[in-house]
Amino acid sequence: MIRVIIERSIAESLEANYEDTAKQTLQKAIRAPGFISGESLKDITNSRHRVILCNWRSTQDWQAWQQSHERKEMMDKLNLMLEREEKV
């Protein structure tokens, strides 16, 4: 098992839109082969700072999801709401 850590900074006033799109992304990830679990953490001092922790069966499973059409489609939407590119 591997744990992937993703850090995101949401643009001001786009938190609600981000939440909806992030939930849709998680729903797609759950169906991906090798996905085990995931959680999203919100910084208590900066609500626009998020850390996503997800567990995958293997590096290959994560890479397949990371490069999948489904994730790229969702990231196209999420990237419009981020102040800068996510860090993985």
Could you tell me the domains of the chain?
2-79 (3.30.70.100)
Query: What DSSP designation does 68 have?
Result: S
The tokens describing 83, both together, are: 């102040």
* pLDDT (0 to 100) of residue 54: 98
pLDDT tens-place string over residues 59-84? 999 999 999 999 999 999 999 999 99
pLDDT tens-place string over residues 14-24? 999 999 999 99
For the whole model, what pTM was predicted? 0.93
Report long-range pairs for 20-29 (Cβ below 8 Å, ≥24 apart). 21/74, 21/77, 21/78, 21/81, 22/50, 22/52, 22/78, 24/74, 25/71, 25/74, 25/75, 25/78, 28/70, 28/71, 28/74, 29/54, 29/65, 29/71
| Local confidence band at 88 (pLDDT 50, 70, 90 cut-offs) | very high
